């Protein structure tokens, strides 16, 4: 078998003005685990979608096992043993695990869907691969880790020999990641070929055999894992030497980052959360009796695997979710039952985790977005004060270095990083005492991350109380004074950042050391 | 009125609702909003009348009626799936188009703005149960439940309505699934109209009289579950039978008795069932 | 025969007719008017134009168009034209106007307010015809329950019900009249499915004869009559063909005759405004008795009904027009 | 600035123009099926609508009702809600105005009576539009279904009030109002003599200007549009989405209801069962063809009014229902063409820009 399983060359793909891929190439040898790395928006997912038949390239050729398959469809890809596990879950929540796994390839008895066989087949596959999930459960009831396993089961069920995984570890806890590695190695040893996308350079070093680096849509490097270092990979990704503050487990700005901190814990109590409980729409407690407080000049960082209640905590404090029990006090004012508007008036600023859904009105201009929530203050005798809104926008744009630097463009037309800057500018550009920052650097590039981190540090130094939630453990470690780990709706542990390391916190993230497990 | 008559009357009244609601359910589960049921029914009724009139055969009438529903089902499909037109807007347009076209053609062919000549129908008998369409209407609920839950295609319909991207990622042609679903809904709702027309042995202008909207209410009332939606159809039909039986009793004005199904729907939407659990991708164009 | 732009004789009487919402081909009211106009065209050589309005404001627009063209007679078909005719007749005092079912108001003292001098209000005493078919239904029906199905639940239709009810009671004081309406919106005149279920439930409750005043909804009644073998009574025109052998009779409303008559008067230069009420005496309403239904009506019954008719004409029986 | 204005105008107008062209072509085919010449039919239509002062004034009359109802629908749509209830709201508004007008003593000065009648109309709209808004906000009841159902309920209720409570002999209308009438346009422009067009037309234009100001120049409108575009983001920013929904539906209902005064205060001076004649449904098309912009709504209302008035002039040539068919085609073409043309437009610009 001399033909390479994957050979892509000269791939071009544009989405409107965005050139997602430009003359990108990829060459994967048989039986290897190949890592595909690059900054946000570098074009990794697009390249893999082209390989998986989801997206058609504008130019270039795709060869699979030596055959030209350029422009094939998803079903062609599946039929030829190419399986993609997408960055965003592609599962139908109302169907069961087994139904999701066999969807599109259903076992039949006559013209009927053979549900029994689907179940036995999927259970057999679970046995064989060790990807344990309850096959007859609805997907909506699964944890993210389980859902991730279902995604992999889906591709294997279709007999995938070439497996593409787009950031499968983003939502997994360290033990889950280790389990995944076992599965992937086994698949490789059974003759499979694996392409893995991840932002975590330690993982790249851990698992891959070969690495392809992408930057701005193009392939800029190809290296053998055993012959390179994280720093070298990072340099290739960004195109210059970087003091790695890019999240990546071993490359974070270590304990030194905390050294420049002024001694905190002296300020006034600005945010007090007591016995906070939040239920989801199915009345399941997703936040379960959490208590903490933050003083002026303090950053509390919440780490944890996503989906353990972090989103809900922030949204409950911000007033976007009903509080089932407990209380929230801001600067001495009880806001437990207050409206979003009143909480904002009480001093809460909020950088939401999903800027597209919550943080911005994408059709509105930059200027309009910069007054979102404050529109009443920017009006005069019942009318919006256009001149003031414009002046305000110019000021904030300059201060937060938003590009393009004019107020008129719609937020939709900005890049992700600049969209996030608009949100930050609005929330931090007004007076506040408590900042809720949820995934503040998600999906933004290195330069922007530096900028945002600086803003957060400055706010802390100015005596604000900051609640930082991030999926990036390293970000939490870099910014927080106190670190809490959330697991299943509770704080599994709270400790000073100076004592915290990934090794110490890791087990708590999966319930290993949690107090109620003890 | 004896219980037998009460039940048979309720079932006869339910037949067009059952057809239309079953059809609407298939389309909605695939993610296509079904405000079109009224138009599908009317086009079914009209085509059935033409088919029966020109062939002299009720069976041909049924086939023609199904084809009429299919035609406008596909039109709605092309507008919303191919051109990604807003599904509510397209629905309103389709309804308007059918009302206008049926009248124009009625005028053209029969020089009448109100009704067609008498056509061949089925020997329904006194209870109405001699009409095969009654049985088909009653069967449409289990058939749709079977389609949705027991066939591979049903699984794909559900996937297309809940998470079209996920369906597409495993090689399912979501557009095709939606076309088929909206075509099925056109045929089924069309058959509801066929029943009305052939039972009357003629087409009367606008003879569906809002039944398509009651059917869509039944789908929502039934929380997009075929069995519950079928139950809702029977509930509405029972309300109507009661309305027929109660008229003139107790001095309640007919206007108020006539409101029962509508008020029932509003109350149900507001109170009894809580938040709707519509298919997640309902109304969203696939891209 | 849509061509209304036929070559016109310059001396012909020119007539313009604005039809009610249902428009041409409704097989009842508007078609009655059309038939009357048609025979006026054929027999009197009149030149007649029709307008079919869409929504409310188009009614006046239609009348106005015709008046502006200097028509000799302008007609509005339906009570809904009443106000529009009054307005136009004042503006065009030298034109003649006629309104079928024109609604004649009364002042506070209960006296009739006459229409303007150039307007002929063509009214029908539907209750008289309904009275006769009510009596017939009770006499032939062989049941203490007699049925009525109305279209939209409105005063105009209540007139039919009131006369019918009185007719039933006149010959059978202990009979019950089961009166039901198909709805409260204009759709109630075009819902045969509902009509059929109403009829079936009446028949199943022991009713043997049902009279309808419900437009196309009545189609359902005739289907029910065919299915059950029981009897139905038609309205406005002779509806015997709707269910051969099962139509006891039809309550005729002579819209065609009234329209023809108005055109003829204009043609003969004898047109005068005022209220023209068409009842049994004038032959404006009546019931069908011919070869189609002779077998259904025993001679004795026929004689009795004819006697009642004579009594009404002679004023010996007062027929109510409200419920 | 002028460049961006040109682009925006292009994006706003081009889809409508393409849709109308498509409808025109399909209309041609239908007319040909009747053996008539499309050019002849269309010219008769235009002539009937714009060819004489009376016809033109009738167009203005119809524009008035459609503008009000279209604004009501557009306002709700801007908040992300589909108001299919304009038919019932028109009727409720007309009835409300009539009731107030009837109760006022004869001879009440117009400056007092007209505003009171308008308030009566608005109250009717507040009830019929506000209820679906409240049910949506409080219980998540789907506004499309609720408004459709409410149409039936409102029409039945008004029918009962007319027939059983306010009965006037033989007819289906309330008694005439004593006070609150609005002058006809023919009092100022004699050529409009006889037309139903009245001063309410200017109320409609004023309402459109107010809507524009409200939507695009006030914090309330800012919040309303934000809610329609991204309810989650609106909620995040402190906008109370449920309240905005209620407000938008109530305001929309009131606007649509004011359309009823065109008939009651300006034309017949009574409420008549069935006077709406489907304007409330046609207004959905008006809102959509007008792209939910208040001024677009006025233009679209004028267009559909022309179609309706012109339709009267072509009876002798094609059946009157042709107009309904044409309306259906216009809406469908519009709905299908808009996303398509916008995409085409964007990619064309990209090519130019690249
Ligand atoms: N469907 C689309 N429409 C428009 N732009 C798109 C689309 N998909 C991707 N893009 C853009 O193409 C570029 C490449 O995106 P892609 O998802 O391939 O990046 P990535 O390397 O996977 O990034 P990340 O690490 O954030 O997942 C980005 O600028 C992205 O916004
Ligand atoms: N789904 C989408 N549809 C349309 N355009 C998109 C989509 N996703 C991204 N884009 C566009 O692609 C461009 C890049 O977006 P993306 O969020 O990937 O930027 P980025 O590379 O992360 O930016 P930055 O460098 O500022 O972080 C933007 O212009 C954005 O508007
Ligand atoms: Mg990005
Ligand atoms: Mg990606």
Q: Is D348 domain-assigned?
A: no
- Is A297 in the same domain as A426? yes
- Is A209 in the same domain as A346? no
User: C-alpha angle with apex D176: D175 to D181, nearest 5 degrees?
Assistant: 150
- The alpha carbon of A458 and the centre of ligand 2 are apart by a number of angstroms equal to 28
Share of chain C above pLDDT 70, in %: 95
pLDDT at C260 over 70: yes
- Is A133 in the same domain as A57? yes
Rg of the Cα trace of chain D?
A: 21
pLDDT of residue C188: 86
- Is A124 in the same domain as A177? yes
Contacts of C154 in chain D (CB under 8 A): 159, 163, 172, 273
Three-state secondary structure of A56-123: CCCEEEEEECCEECCCCCHHHHHHCCEEEECCCCCCCCCCEHHHHHHCCCCCEECCEECHHHHHHHHH
Q: Is D224 domain-assigned?
A: yes
Beta carbon of A40 within 6 Å of any ligand 2 atom: yes
Name the domain boundary from A221, A238, A255.
Answer: A238
Cβ contact B162–A112 (<8 Å): no
For the stretch D20-48, pLDDT in tens is 888 888 888 888 887 888 888 889 889 98
**Looking at domain B3-272, what is its CATH homologous superfamily?**
ABC transporter involved in vitamin B12 uptake, BtuC (1.10.3470.10)
Domain range for A230 is 6-238
Q: Is A251 domain-assigned?
A: no
Q: Which residues does chain A have with pLDDT short of 50?
A: 1, 243-264, 514-518
Q: Which residue has the higher pLDDT, C186 or A80?
A: A80
For the stretch B78-137, pLDDT in tens is 999 998 888 888 998 899 899 989 988 988 898 877 788 999 988 877 888 889 999 999
- Looking at residues D83-97, what average pLDDT do you find? 95
pLDDT of residue C192: 92
Instruction: Please give the Cα distance from A418 to A444 (Å, whole number).
Output: 8
Q: Which residue has the higher pLDDT, D344 or C177?
A: C177
Tokens in use for A48? 């893999």
Burial of D353 (0-12, 13-18, 19+ CB in 10 A): exposed
Q: Is D280 domain-assigned?
A: yes
Q: Is A369 domain-assigned?
A: yes
pLDDT at D8 over 60: yes
- pTM (2 d.p.): 0.86
Q: Does C292 touch chain D (CB under 8 A)?
A: no
Beta carbon of A41 within 6 Å of any ligand 2 atom: yes
- Is A160 in the same domain as A296? no
Q: Which of A17, A18, A214, A400 to mutate to test the pocket of ligand 2 (most atoms within 8 A of CB)?
A: A18
Judge contact between A349 and A356, C-beta under 8 A. Answer: no
CB atoms within 10 A of CB B97: 22
Burial of D218 (0-12, 13-18, 19+ CB in 10 A): middle
pLDDT at C1 over 50: no
Distance from CA of B270 to the nearest CA of D (A): 5
Ligand 1 neighbours by CB, cut-off 6 Å: A 15, 18, 20, 38, 40-46, 87, 443
Residue C57's pLDDT band (cuts 50, 70, 90):
confident
pLDDT of residue A255: 38
Q: Give chain D's domain count.
A: 1
Judge contact between C192 and C219, C-beta under 8 A. Answer: yes
For the stretch B133-170, pLDDT in tens is 999 999 999 999 999 999 999 999 999 999 998 998 88
Q: Is D281 domain-assigned?
A: yes
Q: Torsion-angle region of residue C305: left (phi > 0), alpha (psi -120 to 50) or beta?
A: alpha
Neighbours of chain A (3+ CB pairs under 8 A): B, D
Q: Is D315 domain-assigned?
A: no
pLDDT at D171 over 90: no
For the stretch B225-254, pLDDT in tens is 999 999 999 998 998 898 888 776 656 777
Burial of A202 (0-12, 13-18, 19+ CB in 10 A): middle
Name the domain boundary from A238, A259, A283.
Answer: A238
pLDDT of residue D58: 93
Q: Mean pLDDT of all residues in chain C?
A: 89
C74 Cβ contact list (under 8 Å, min separation 6): C15, C16, C17, C18, C63, C66, C67, C88, C95, C96, C97, C98
Residues in chain D whose Cβ is within 8 Å of chain C: 54, 58, 61-62, 152, 155-156, 159-160, 163, 167-172, 194, 196, 263, 267-268, 272-279, 308-309, 311-312, 315-316, 320, 323
For the stretch A301-328, pLDDT in tens is 998 877 788 989 999 999 999 999 999 9
Q: Which of A12, A15, A417 to mutate to test the pocket of ligand 1 (most atoms within 8 A of CB)?
A: A15
pLDDT of residue A248: 36
Contacts 24+ apart (CB under 8 A), D289-294: D289/D16, D289/D19, D289/D330, D289/D331, D289/D334, D290/D70, D290/D74, D291/D12, D291/D15, D291/D16, D291/D338, D292/D74, D292/D77, D292/D78, D293/D12, D293/D74, D293/D212, D294/D71, D294/D74, D294/D208, D294/D209, D294/D211, D294/D212, D294/D215
Q: Is A258 domain-assigned?
A: no
Residue C5's pLDDT band (cuts 50, 70, 90):
very low
Residue D128's pLDDT band (cuts 50, 70, 90):
very high
pLDDT of residue A329: 96
Phi, psi of D132 (to 5 degrees): -60, -35
Q: Is D239 domain-assigned?
A: yes
Q: Mean pLDDT of all residues in chain A?
A: 86
Domain range for D280 is 65-290
pLDDT at C311 over 70: yes
pLDDT of residue A82: 93
Q: Give chain A's domain count.
A: 2
- Is A108 in the same domain as A161? yes
Q: Which of A8, A36, A43 to mutate to test the pocket of ligand 1 (most atoms within 8 A of CB)?
A: A43
pLDDT of residue D142: 83
Range from A439-443, A451-455, C73-77, C137-141 carrying the lowest mean pLDDT: A439-443
- The alpha carbon of B19 and the centre of ligand 4 are apart by a number of angstroms equal to 45
- Is A10 in the same domain as A90? yes
pLDDT of residue D107: 83
Helix (H) or strand (E) holding D217, with range, is helix D200-217
Judge contact between A386 and A404, C-beta under 8 A. Answer: no
Q: Number of B to D CB contacts under 8 A, please give it.
A: 142
State the CATH number of the domain containing residue A501: 3.40.50.300
- Looking at residues B26-51, what average pLDDT do you find? 96
Nearest-atom number in ligand 1 for the CA of A21 is: 14
- Looking at residues C288-292, what average pLDDT do you find? 93
Instruction: Please give the Cα distance from A133 to A155 (Å, whole number).
Output: 15
Q: Which residue has the tokens 């055993």?
A: A226
Q: Is A99 domain-assigned?
A: yes
Q: Is A75 domain-assigned?
A: yes
């Amino acid at each position: 078998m001399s033909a390479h399983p994957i050979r892509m060359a000269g791939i071009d793909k544009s989405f409107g003005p965005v050139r997602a891929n430009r003359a990108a190439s990829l060459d994967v040898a048989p039986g290897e685990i190949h890592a595909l790395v690059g900054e946000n928006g570098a074009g990794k997912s697009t390249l893999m979608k082209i390989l998986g038949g989801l997206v058609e390239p504008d130019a270039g050729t795709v060869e699979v096992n030596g055959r030209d398959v350029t422009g094939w469809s998803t079903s062609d890809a599946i039929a030829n043993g190419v399986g993609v596990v997408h960055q965003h879950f592609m599962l139908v929540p109302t169907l069961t695990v087994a139904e999701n796994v066999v969807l599109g390839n259903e076992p039949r008895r006559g013209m009927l869907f053979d549900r029994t066989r689907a179940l036995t087949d999927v259970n057999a596959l679970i046995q064989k691969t060790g990807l344990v999930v309850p096959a007859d459960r609805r997907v909506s009831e699964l944890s993210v880790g389980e859902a991730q396993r279902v995604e992999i089961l889906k591709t294997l069920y279709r007999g995938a020999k070439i497996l593409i995984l787009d950031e499968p570890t983003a939502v997994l806890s360290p033990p889950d990641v280790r389990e995944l590695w076992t599965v992937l190695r086994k698949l490789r040893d059974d003759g499979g070929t694996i392409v893995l996308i991840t932002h975590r350079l330690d993982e790249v070093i851990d698992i891959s055999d070969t690495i392809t680096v992408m930057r701005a849509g193009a392939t800029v490097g190809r290296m053998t894992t055993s012959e390179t270092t994280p720093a070298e990979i990072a340099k290739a990704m960004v195109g210059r030497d970087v003091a790695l503050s890019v999240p990546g487990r071993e490359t974070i700005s270590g304990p030194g980052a905390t050294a420049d901190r002024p001694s905190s814990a002296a300020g006034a109590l600005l945010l007090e959360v007591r016995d906070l409980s939040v239920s989801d729409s199915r009345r399941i407690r997703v936040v379960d009796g959490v208590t903490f407080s933050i003083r002026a000049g303090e950053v509390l960082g919440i780490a944890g695997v996503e989906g353990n209640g972090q989103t809900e905590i922030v949204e409950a404090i911000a007033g976007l979710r009903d509080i089932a029990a407990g209380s929230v006090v801001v600067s001495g004012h009880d806001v437990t039952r207050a409206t979003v508007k009143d909480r904002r008036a009480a001093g809460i600023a909020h950088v939401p985790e999903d800027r597209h859904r919550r943080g911005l009105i994408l059709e509105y201009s930059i200027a309009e977005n910069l007054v979102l929530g404050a529109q009443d203050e920017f009006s005069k005798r019942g009318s919006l004060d256009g001149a003031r809104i414009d002046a305000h926008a110019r000021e904030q744009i300059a201060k937060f270095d938003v590009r393009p630097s004019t107020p008129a463009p719609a937020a939709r037309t900005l890049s992700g990083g600049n969209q996030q800057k608009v949100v930050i500018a609005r929330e931090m550009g007004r007076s506040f005492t408590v900042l809720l920052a949820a995934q503040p650097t998600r999906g933004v590039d290195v330069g922007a991350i530096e900028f945002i981190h600086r803003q957060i540090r400055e706010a802390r130094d100015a005596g604000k109380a900051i609640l930082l939630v991030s999926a990036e453990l390293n970000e939490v470690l870099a910014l927080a004074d106190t670190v809490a780990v959330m697991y299943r709706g509770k704080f599994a542990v709270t400790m000073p950042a100076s004592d915290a390391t990934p090794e110490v916190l890791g087990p708590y993230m999966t319930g290993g050391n949690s107090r109620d497990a003890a | 009125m004896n219980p037998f008559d009460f039940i048979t009357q309720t079932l006869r009244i339910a037949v067009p609702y059952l057809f239309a609601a079953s059809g609407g359910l298939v389309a909605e589960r695939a993610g296509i909003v079904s405000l079109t049921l009224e138009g599908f029914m009317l086009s079914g009724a009209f085509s059935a009348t033409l088919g029966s009139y020109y062939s002299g055969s009720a069976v041909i009438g049924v086939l023609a009626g199904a084809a009429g529903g299919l035609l406008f089902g596909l039109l709605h499909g092309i507008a919303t799936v191919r051109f990604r037109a807003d599904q509510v807007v397209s629905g309103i347009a389709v309804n308007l188009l059918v009302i206008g076209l049926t009248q124009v053609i009625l005028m053209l062919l029969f020089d009448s703005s109100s009704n067609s000549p008498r056509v061949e129908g089925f020997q329904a008998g006194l209870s109405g149960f001699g009409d095969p369409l009654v049985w088909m209407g009653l069967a449409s609920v289990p058939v749709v439940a079977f389609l949705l839950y027991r066939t591979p295609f049903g699984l794909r319909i559900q996937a297309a309505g809940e998470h079209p991207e996920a369906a597409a990622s495993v090689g399912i042609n979501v557009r095709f699934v939606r076309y088929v679903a909206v075509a099925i809904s056109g045929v089924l709702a069309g058959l509801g109209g066929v029943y009305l027309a052939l039972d009357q042995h003629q087409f009367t202008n606008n003879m569906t009289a809002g039944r398509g909207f009651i059917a869509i209410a039944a789908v929502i009332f039934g929380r997009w579950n075929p069995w519950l939606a079928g139950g809702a159809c029977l509930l509405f039909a029972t309300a109507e039978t009661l309305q027929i039986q109660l008229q003139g009793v107790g001095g309640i004005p007919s206007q108020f008795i006539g409101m029962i199904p509508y008020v029932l729907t509003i109350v149900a939407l507001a109170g009894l069932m809580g938040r709707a659990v519509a298919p997640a991708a309902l109304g969203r164009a696939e891209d | 025969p849509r061509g209304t732009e036929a070559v016109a004789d310059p001396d012909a009487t020119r007539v313009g007719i604005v039809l009610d919402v249902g428009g041409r081909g409704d097989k009842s009211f508007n078609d009655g008017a059309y038939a009357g106009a048609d025979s006026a065209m054929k027999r009197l050589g009149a030149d007649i134009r029709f307008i079919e309005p869409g929504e409310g404001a188009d009614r006046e627009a239609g009348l106005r168009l015709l008046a502006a063209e200097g028509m000799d007679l302008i007609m509005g078909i339906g009570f809904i034209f009443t106000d529009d005719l009054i307005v136009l007749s004042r503006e065009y005092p030298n034109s003649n106007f006629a309104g079928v079912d024109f609604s004649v108001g009364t002042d506070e003292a209960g006296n009739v307010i006459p229409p303007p001098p150039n307007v002929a209000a063509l009214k029908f005493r539907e209750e008289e015809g309904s009275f006769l078919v009510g009596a017939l239904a009770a006499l032939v029906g062989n049941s203490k329950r007699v049925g009525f199905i109305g279209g939209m639940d409105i005063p105009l239709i209540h007139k039919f019900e009131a006369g019918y009810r009185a007719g039933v009671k006149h010959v059978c004081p202990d009979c019950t009249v089961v009166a039901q309406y198909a709805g409260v919106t204009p759709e109630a005149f075009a819902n045969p499915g509902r009509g059929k279920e109403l009829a079936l439930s009446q028949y199943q409750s022991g009713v043997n004869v049902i009279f309808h005043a419900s437009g196309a909804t009545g189609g359902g009644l005739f289907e029910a009559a065919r299915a059950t073998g029981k009897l139905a009574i038609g309205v406005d025109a002779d509806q015997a063909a709707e269910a051969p052998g099962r139509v006891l009779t039809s309550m005729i409303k002579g819209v065609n005759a009234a329209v023809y008559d108005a055109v003829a008067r204009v043609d003969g230069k004898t047109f005068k405004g005022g209220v023209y009420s068409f009842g049994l005496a004038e032959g404006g309403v009546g019931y069908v008795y011919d070869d189609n239904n002779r077998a259904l009506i025993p001679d004795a019954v026929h004689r009795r009904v004819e006697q009642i008719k004579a009594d009404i004409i002679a004023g010996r029986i007062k027929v109510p027009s409200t419920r | 600035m002028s460049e961006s204005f040109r682009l925006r105008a292009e994006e706003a107008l081009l889809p409508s123009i393409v849709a109308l062209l498509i409808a025109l072509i399909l209309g041609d085919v239908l007319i040909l099926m009747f053996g008539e010449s499309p050019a002849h039919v269309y010219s008769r239509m235009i002539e009937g609508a714009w060819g004489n002062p009376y016809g033109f004034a009738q167009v203005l009359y119809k524009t008035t009702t459609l503008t009000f109802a279209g604004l009501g629908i557009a306002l709700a749509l801007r908040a992300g809600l589909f108001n299919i209830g304009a038919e019932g709201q028109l009727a409720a508004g007309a009835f409300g105005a009539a009731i107030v007008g009837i109760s006022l003593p004869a001879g009440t000065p117009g400056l007092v009576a007209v505003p009171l009648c308008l308030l009566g109309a608005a109250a009717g709209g507040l009830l019929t539009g506000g209820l679906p808004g409240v049910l949506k906000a409080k219980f998540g009841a789907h506004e499309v279904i609720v408004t459709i159902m409410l149409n039936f309920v409102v029409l039945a209720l008004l029918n009962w009030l007319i027939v059983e409570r306010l009965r006037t002999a033989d007819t289906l209308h309330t008694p005439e109002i004593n006070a609150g009438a609005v002058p006809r346009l023919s009092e100022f422009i004699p050529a409009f003599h006889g037309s139903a067009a009245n001063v309410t037309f200017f109320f409609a234009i004023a309402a459109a200007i107010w809507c524009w100001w409200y939507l695009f120049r006030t914090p309330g409108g800012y919040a309303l549009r934000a809610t329609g575009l991204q309810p989650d983001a609106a909620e995040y920013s402190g906008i109370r989405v449920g309240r905005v929904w209620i407000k938008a539906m109530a305001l929309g209902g009131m606007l649509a209801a004011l359309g009823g005064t065109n008939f009651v205060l300006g034309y017949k001076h009574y409420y008549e069962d069935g006077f709406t004649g489907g304007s409330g449904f046609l207004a959905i098309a008006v809102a959509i063809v007008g792209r939910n912009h208040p001024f677009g709504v006025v233009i679209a209302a004028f267009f559909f009014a022309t179609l309706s008035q012109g339709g009267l002039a072509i009876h002798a040539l094609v059946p009157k229902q042709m107009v309904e068919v044409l309306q259906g085609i216009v809406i469908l073409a519009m709905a299908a063409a808009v996303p398509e043309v916008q995409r085409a437009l964007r990619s064309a610009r990209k090519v130019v820009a690249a």
